[in-house]
Chain A
């Protein structure tokens, strides 16, 4: 364990900044949805912030990621522009997808955010193809496939991991295991206890880590990224976590284990990381408060601009179907 990579103070602070942005953004979405000002299907990533916040400190703008409908945390951690994000959520023409994609199809290729899919498991085959492109480019890029534990039981998981390993592609498969596939618990989805054990059957390393622990996530990601950038092939990281808001915002979550949910909320990784930054002298209370205020202000600006922007013209129905506008 001693030779594992560990995040320094500056990196921990950056992980916290990303996680705090995800948390505040989530709170703002829920506030506006609850007030009836924002209407959309929302799959809250609250509780899973540390996973992408840690992974993305290793990623450059030209590294690719694909994620799924519960993927706002992945996008924000990699640097999704807040103004275009909020305009997209509000369905405005100034949104990153001109309001034509919405929360389940967030895309920002200039920063490597290539696909958000609403189909469970479909991030993996495309991320594999992006890994092929990265290999052909020969510039040491990596491709990250984010997906949930439910997707580990879809055929695309098998096909993608097998192909990526066979071709030694620079892909990091990140199974964010919040232990629920929509409403179905992991115990009612599989006989195995760790999805990472499947990696062995594809001939790639697989590791299960506490996804809410920045040290564990940092060490696992460092190993996977260095293997990928060196051309040695893919890795499966199973990051254990828990979602705080059920599958779809608004559903009661009766199927969830109340004790485990309470326990997960009591172990919220954000206040823990915040306290650690204070304890280790990485940042002062005043500095963290300023960072959090700055995030709130950025969200304020993005939200205000989003709701002031125009909706897309109906002529957009004929654009972006093909390269040439259809008749």
Chain B
């Protein structure tokens, strides 16, 4: 594209918010530290927005997660499109009533009379020695809740496109940002990315790896290393976790006959279980090997560096699992 350029993930998100607010006066932003008075977010994701669009549309809040999501829900059912930031994914736990009982359910419970077009931005991810309450991937909880969409981009272009789509969506969208990827640059063409559509991040023929967010990056590194040994890996980036792109995943696994599902969340009862079960139900008999899953260890995110490194899957453990699958 003519206007292709390179941006980091956080610049892409900032640009998406800026462009959405410019395009639609109904778009609002709120959350802890989002105004420029508080430096536009702890990492600057909302920098410049309050200066350009005013503090009536871009509101820093007290540390009050229930009230942040409640304010977003209330404004949305009255016709606005708020983007609410819950700084870290672990902090969504103190707003679960608002997210699960209200944002996700008001459309259904009202018989379609009201709807909640909000975006909840939240960041997470291990690797920064933040310990047990600042780095969890909790996407399965929300994917298990009917009525809220869950997206998790792995690169700046998808972050931009998915943010624009999430803001335009008529339903609540939880937008998961991987903190350790914030400063990674990537090509970006500012194209829209539809919610619910996966992307083949790397084509291959021997085995499919299904991942999202940081695990896509790790899977691509593993795939590159395996290519040198003659193993052809297809990497499917889910991009949207719920509703997930079943067809794209099934098409890929039907082609390769082998599947590995990887996520940074704890493996037990994670989204890998749902995806692996669906592959088993739909492709039984066509599989050349049992579907495998990789996820984080069944413990809190640990602090000590060797423990933290061993906690989540990475390119090496993904590579080893893929080699075992094709052996």
Binding site for B on A (CB under 8 A): 64, 66, 95-101, 105, 107-109, 114-115, 117-119, 122, 124-137, 143, 155-156, 159-160, 162-163, 166-167, 319-323, 326
A82 to chain B, nearest CB (A): 17
Inter-chain contact B109/A100, CB cutoff 8 Å: yes
Inter-chain contact B108/A115, CB cutoff 8 Å: no
Check: B113 CB closer than 8 A to any chain A CB: yes
CA distance A108 to B66 in the complex (A): 24
- 21 A/B residue pairs, CB under 8 Å, sorted by A: A97-B109, A97-B110, A100-B110, A100-B111, A109-B113, A119-B101, A124-B70, A125-B66, A125-B70, A126-B98, A128-B74, A129-B77, A132-B75, A133-B80, A136-B28, A155-B66, A159-B64, A159-B70, A163-B71, A320-B108, A322-B149
Inter-chain contact A127/B111, CB cutoff 8 Å: no
Given A100-B109, A129-B74, A159-B67, decide whether A115 and B114 contact each other with a Cβ distance below 8 A.
Answer: yes
Give the residues in chain B near A134, CB-CB below 8 Å. Answer: 78
A103 to chain B, nearest CB (A): 11
Given A128-B70, A162-B62, A163-B67, decide whether A133 and B111 contact each other with a Cβ distance below 8 A.
Answer: no
- Of chain A, the residue at the smallest CB distance from B59 is A167
CA distance A98 to B108 in the complex (A): 10
Give the residues in chain A near B113, CB-CB below 8 Å. Answer: 96-97, 107-109
Check: B112 CB closer than 8 A to any chain A CB: yes
CA distance A131 to B64 in the complex (A): 17
Give the residues in chain A near B79, CB-CB below 8 Å. Answer: 133
Give the residues in chain A near B76, CB-CB below 8 Å. Answer: 129
CA distance A126 to B108 in the complex (A): 17
Q: Which of A64, A100, A320, A326 contacts B78 (CB 8 A)?
A: A64
Q: Which of A101, A132, A133, A167 contacts B109 (CB 8 A)?
A: A101
Give the residues in chain B near A160, CB-CB below 8 Å. Answer: 66-67, 70
CA distance A98 to B113 in the complex (A): 10
Given A126-B102, A163-B61, decide whether A95 and B75 contact each other with a Cβ distance below 8 A.
Answer: no
Given A105-B109, A115-B102, A122-B102, decide whether A133 and B74 contact each other with a Cβ distance below 8 A.
Answer: yes
Inter-chain contact A127/B109, CB cutoff 8 Å: no
A131 to chain B, nearest CB (A): 7
Give the residues in chain A near B82, CB-CB below 8 Å. Answer: 129
B124 to chain A, nearest CB (A): 23
Inter-chain contact A125/B74, CB cutoff 8 Å: yes
Closest 6 CB pairs of A and B: A129-B74, A125-B70, A133-B78, A98-B111, A97-B111, A159-B67
Q: Identify which of A109, A118, A321 gathers the most chain B CB atoms within 10 Å of its CB.
A: A321
Inter-chain contact B101/A143, CB cutoff 8 Å: no
CA distance A136 to B146 in the complex (A): 31
Give the residues in chain A near B70, CB-CB below 8 Å. Answer: 122, 124-126, 128-129, 156, 159-160
Check: B213 CB closer than 8 A to any chain A CB: no
- Of chain B, the residue at the smallest CB distance from A127 is B74
Q: Which of B28, B57, B78 contacts A114 (CB 8 A)?
A: B78
Inter-chain contact A101/B101, CB cutoff 8 Å: no
Give the residues in chain B near A95, CB-CB below 8 Å. Answer: 111
- Of chain B, the residue at the smallest CB distance from A163 is B67
CA distance A127 to B113 in the complex (A): 17
Check: B171 CB closer than 8 A to any chain A CB: yes
Inter-chain contact A117/B101, CB cutoff 8 Å: yes
A245 to chain B, nearest CB (A): 24
Given A125-B98, A133-B75, decide whether A326 and B243 contact each other with a Cβ distance below 8 A.
Answer: yes
